[in-house]
Structure 1
Amino acid sequence: MKSLSVEQVLKEKKTNDPDSIKELNLGHKALTDVSCLSKFKNLEKLDLRFNNLTDLQGLKSCVNLKWLSVVENKLQSLNGIEALTNLTVLNAGKNKLKSMNEIASLTNLGALILNDNEISSICNLDLLKDLNSLVLSRNPISEIGDSLSKLKNIKKISLSNCRIKAIGSSLKSCSNLKELRLAHNEIKALPTELAVNKRLLTLDVGNNMITKLSGLEVLSTLSCLRNLNIRGNPISDNDKSAKKVRKLLLPSVNVFNAQSLEKSSRNEKHSRFDTDDETFDTHHNKTTEEEQSKEGRKSKKSSKRNKSEEEEEVKNEDQKSKKKKKSKSNPNVYQVETEHKEEDKQKKTTSNNNDDAAEKKQKKTPKEELDAIDDAETSFADIFSRDNVSKVSGDGIEKRKNSKQETGLVRVIDNQDNKKRQKKKTEKNQSKSVVIDLPMELEIGLGGESKWE
């Protein structure tokens, strides 16, 4: 047996005046007697949780108490609490209380918490007009009855894990009820009288015995309902029935069976967006393929245009060369004629020569190299196997122009004859040439025909 003394309390609070103490925390001290607290007349808040108290007789003189917690003691009754008429919060959960008769005089009580006791019936609540929270879960209560008929200001009722079989009209006067917890009972249907509770926000009837959809039809009238739980009922085990229940729910419901309906709707939206993205990707791929084909056609047209432009340039060069031959003032005419004769001799020898070794030894002019690059039928292997691969680049045309400007000579070549001769050469090269192993940098494009623009 461990009792509390006034000296201990005053020493802990570092004061000599018991009237100056308004709050005490005496939890976890294994106390069995607190009769000394009668000296603290101005005490308003008292915490005696986790002790060994068997009654509350020692608190009779603490008439100014407003908040009292005696959770987890060994109380078998609430004797001694009747005089505490100023109490607004009483928490006597997890004791061994058989009844709640002593609370009838606590007219200012706002919250009554008596969970995990041995109370079998709800009673003596008629005068508690300011009561807004009632917690009686895990008590062997089988009926609600008319005990709540006078509690018009009640907002929260918890009767989970009891033995309640029916609600009936017991809540018809609780017009301000916002939270109702009736999980783990034996309820078979929700009564139509529940429609009176228009302000209900949270309803938990999980793990009951509701089997038919008709037992939940009243849900469609609860316009303020936000959180509903029916898990553990036979009706929720069937997917079809669960879907029907969801159809009954108003759009205001945010949480159904402990799952947010907003998240599920977001997931549906995301899945829909994902499918839309897939269709968009396929459409985008098709459009890109069509654009590539169009670009290929445009490239062909551009290549043809380039060839036509080259033909016109060659014709213009022919005309210029003829004029230069006629003019005796030009000192480079004799050089041009001699170079043409030498080029014709070389071309004849190359056309008559069928030997591959002779063709490889023979040097190609920059003009022929550029024509090979511009030709769409020439493969990458043929282009990069030439001796002057380093000279073949995107700026080859500019090099050709620079060479012309440096020498000051004008070369006149018959375009049609050159094309015929080049076709013969490429046919011979394709039939007899061996593909050369290219470095890794030049392996691009070997998978098929390449079109150079």
Structure 2
Amino acid sequence: MKGLSSEQVLQEKQTTDSNAVASLTFTHRALSDVSCLAEFKKLERLDLTFNNLSSLEGLKPCVNLKWLSVKQNKLRSLKGIEGCVSLTVLNAGSNMIQSMDEVSNLVRLRALILNDNQITSICRLDKMKELNTIVLSKNPISKIGESLSKVKSITKLSLSNCKIQDIDSSLKSCTELKELRLAHNEIRTLPSELTRNTKIQNLDLGNNLIMRWSDLKILSSLVNLKNLNVAGNPVAEKDSLAKKIKKLVPGLQIFNAKPIDKAMKSVTVDADENLLVDARDNDNKKGQNVKEDKSIIPIKEDNEENTTITDSVSEKKPKRKSRGLKDEPVTEEEGIKKSKKIKFDEEKVHVDATEKNENRNKTRVDNDGNNNNDDIIVGKKKKKVKSKTRGSSAVQLLASDAQIGLGGESAWDR
């Protein structure tokens, strides 16, 4: 058992006045007793992450404490925390806590983070009029119930990796909700009451049991929705889902962790035409280039010569192209061989022409400033800039960090 002493605290802060200590950080110290902190009446911020604490009773006298992190300890209970009546941020994630009832009287609390524990039910949070963030992911919670019915100030709620089967009307009063994470649960449908949560911007429903398209139609009421995840649900296996979702929620930017445009179809840049084309049409595009590119030897006459189609005009012209074959009969076997040779020559010429175009694109402007490749080079640069501009807002959504009360940035636990 390793306890923290007042002398250690004063030495750490290089002072002899306990009232001068407002903030302390003692992480990774294997501490199991911090009862000496009761002497520090002005203490407002305390970080005890990664220690061996099994009780918070020693913090009960810390009535001025506003910010507390005791995550990654050995806590089985929050007893003692009820004395910290000034708390605005509490992070007790990654412990073995079985009940959260002790927090119900912390009326000033703004952020409550209790992920990775053994909590089975959410206590009533009616008295917390300023609570805006709740993280209860990775707890065996089966239902939300009426615990949030009077918490109208909440903007961020995470209940991922729980055992929730139904949302029901549990969120109807959370009209300020902007981020809702319910991934890895057993949810089969979305309630009609979700229409009241019109401010939701980020919604994670990944890896649930939603099967039907009709179960997602309620999302049309979420007019501010920017980021949606339904990957891992049976309904997500349908190829046309992204297009349907886009019509349902026109303002959506991120779908299943990808920009919505990329989720709808894969696109590539055609270097020859400097156009965005569907990846599925690449082969067709190349086939058209064979016919249209003047640098490729036309094969019309040879193809006609190897077929049974007769034409009075075409019979007169092929004499220049095939002098040794003009009067010789062609067997079926020879026709097949010639057809394969023509196809091989066509592909070889097309590849050579493509390589020449690429080599020309790499050259710099001539001395007289007249370079035929200027348009291609400029086109590529414009394309890069355009794609960055179009995807910037989507990238910001993917990279944004959630603000946790007054505790600064925090990575959302999924």
Q: With the length of structure 1 as denominator, give the TM-score of the two structures.
A: 0.60
**Higher Cα Rg, which structure:** 1
Are the aligned partners of 1:100 and 1:124 in contact in 2 as well (CA < 8 Å)?
Answer: no
The CA RMSD over aligned residues, in Å, is 2.4
Are the aligned partners of 1:188 and 1:210 in contact in 2 as well (CA < 8 Å)?
Answer: yes
For 2:52 and 2:296, how far apart are their aligned partners in 1?
Answer: 81
For 1:210 and 1:227, how far apart are their aligned partners in 2?
Answer: 18
1:273 maps to amino acid: L
Q: Which residue of 1 is the match for residue 203 of structure 2?
A: 203
Q: Which residue of 2 is the match for residue 84 of structure 1?
A: 84
Q: Which residue of 1 is the match for residue 103 of structure 2?
A: 103
Are the aligned partners of 1:216 and 1:245 in contact in 2 as well (CA < 8 Å)?
Answer: no
Match of 2:276 among 273, 277, 293: 273
For 1:277 and 1:215, how far apart are their aligned partners in 2?
Answer: 39
Deviation (angstroms), 1:247: 4.5
Note closer, same or farther for the CA distance 1:26–1:204 as it changes in structure 2 (3 Å cut). Answer: same
For 1:243 and 1:72, how far apart are their aligned partners in 2?
Answer: 39
Higher relative contact order (CA 8 A, sep 6+): 2
For 2:105 and 2:276, how far apart are their aligned partners in 1?
Answer: 62
Secondary structure class of the residue paired with 2:46: strand
Deviation (angstroms), 1:281: 6.6
Residue 190 in 1 paired to residue 190 in 2? yes
Deviation (angstroms), 1:280: 9.9
Are the aligned partners of 1:28 and 1:49 in contact in 2 as well (CA < 8 Å)?
Answer: yes
For 2:90 and 2:251, how far apart are their aligned partners in 1?
Answer: 34
Q: Which residue of 1 is the match for residue 159 of structure 2?
A: 159
2:67 maps to amino acid: W
For 2:245 and 2:269, how far apart are their aligned partners in 1?
Answer: 21
Q: Deviations over 1:99-118 (max 9, x none)?
A: 11111111110000000111
Note closer, same or farther for the CA distance 1:281–1:237 as it changes in structure 2 (3 Å cut). Answer: closer
Secondary structure class of the residue paired with 2:210: coil
Are the aligned partners of 1:188 and 1:211 in contact in 2 as well (CA < 8 Å)?
Answer: yes
2:198 maps to amino acid: K
For 1:140 and 1:168, how far apart are their aligned partners in 2?
Answer: 18
Are the aligned partners of 2:98 and 2:118 in contact in 1 as well (CA < 8 Å)?
Answer: yes
Deviation (angstroms), 1:269: 7.4
Alignment of 1:252-263 (within 5 A): 252-263=251-262
Note closer, same or farther for the CA distance 1:173–1:146 as it changes in structure 2 (3 Å cut). Answer: same
Note closer, same or farther for the CA distance 1:287–1:54 as it changes in structure 2 (3 Å cut). Answer: closer
Alignment of 1:47-446 (within 5 A): 47-240=47-240, 242-243=241-242, 245-263=244-262, 268=267, 270=269, 273=276, 285-286=293-294
For 1:125 and 1:99, how far apart are their aligned partners in 2?
Answer: 13
Q: Which residue of 2 is the match for residue 330 of structure 1?
A: none
For 1:32 and 1:287, how far apart are their aligned partners in 2?
Answer: 80
Greater CA drift, 277-286 or 179-188: 277-286
Secondary structure class of the residue paired with 1:228: strand
Are the aligned partners of 1:116 and 1:138 in contact in 2 as well (CA < 8 Å)?
Answer: yes
For 2:288 and 2:172, how far apart are their aligned partners in 1?
Answer: 56
Note closer, same or farther for the CA distance 1:245–1:210 as it changes in structure 2 (3 Å cut). Answer: farther
Secondary structure class of the residue paired with 1:144: coil
Q: Which has the higher helix share?
A: 1
2:256 maps to amino acid: N
Deviation (angstroms), 1:255: 0.8
Secondary structure class of the residue paired with 1:82: helix
Are the aligned partners of 2:105 and 2:127 in contact in 1 as well (CA < 8 Å)?
Answer: yes
Deviation (angstroms), 1:2: 0.7
Q: Which residue of 2 is the match for residue 314 of structure 1?
A: none
For 2:202 and 2:43, how far apart are their aligned partners in 1?
Answer: 36
Deviation (angstroms), 1:267: 5.4
Q: Which residue of 2 is the match for residue 22 of structure 1?
A: 22
For 2:220 and 2:243, how far apart are their aligned partners in 1?
Answer: 12
For 1:63 and 1:137, how far apart are their aligned partners in 2?
Answer: 28
1:252 maps to amino acid: G
Deviation (angstroms), 1:248: 4.5
For 1:262 and 1:65, how far apart are their aligned partners in 2?
Answer: 48
For 2:89 and 2:288, how far apart are their aligned partners in 1?
Answer: 62
Are the aligned partners of 1:219 and 1:248 in contact in 2 as well (CA < 8 Å)?
Answer: no
Gaps of 5+ in 1: 290-453
Secondary structure class of the residue paired with 1:195: helix
Secondary structure class of the residue paired with 1:273: strand
Note closer, same or farther for the CA distance 1:245–1:192 as it changes in structure 2 (3 Å cut). Answer: farther
Note closer, same or farther for the CA distance 1:230–1:18 as it changes in structure 2 (3 Å cut). Answer: same
Q: Deviations over 1:217-238 (max 9, x none)?
A: 1111111111111111111123
2:45 maps to amino acid: K
Q: Deviations over 1:322-359 (max 9, x none)?
A: xxxxxxxxxxxxxxxxxxxxxxxxxxxxxxxxxxxxxx
Note closer, same or farther for the CA distance 1:288–1:164 as it changes in structure 2 (3 Å cut). Answer: closer
Identity among equivalent pairs (%): 54
For 1:162 and 1:26, how far apart are their aligned partners in 2?
Answer: 31
Note closer, same or farther for the CA distance 1:282–1:162 as it changes in structure 2 (3 Å cut). Answer: same
For 2:291 and 2:264, how far apart are their aligned partners in 1?
Answer: 27
Deviation (angstroms), 1:249: 3.3
Q: Which residue of 2 is the match for residue 390 of structure 1?
A: none
Gaps of 5+ in 2: 298-414
For 1:216 and 1:248, how far apart are their aligned partners in 2?
Answer: 12
For 1:161 and 1:248, how far apart are their aligned partners in 2?
Answer: 30
Q: With the length of structure 2 as denominator, give the TM-score of the two structures.
A: 0.65
For 2:80 and 2:242, how far apart are their aligned partners in 1?
Answer: 53
Secondary structure class of the residue paired with 1:180: strand
Residue 11 in 1 paired to residue 14 in 2? no
For 1:235 and 1:63, how far apart are their aligned partners in 2?
Answer: 51
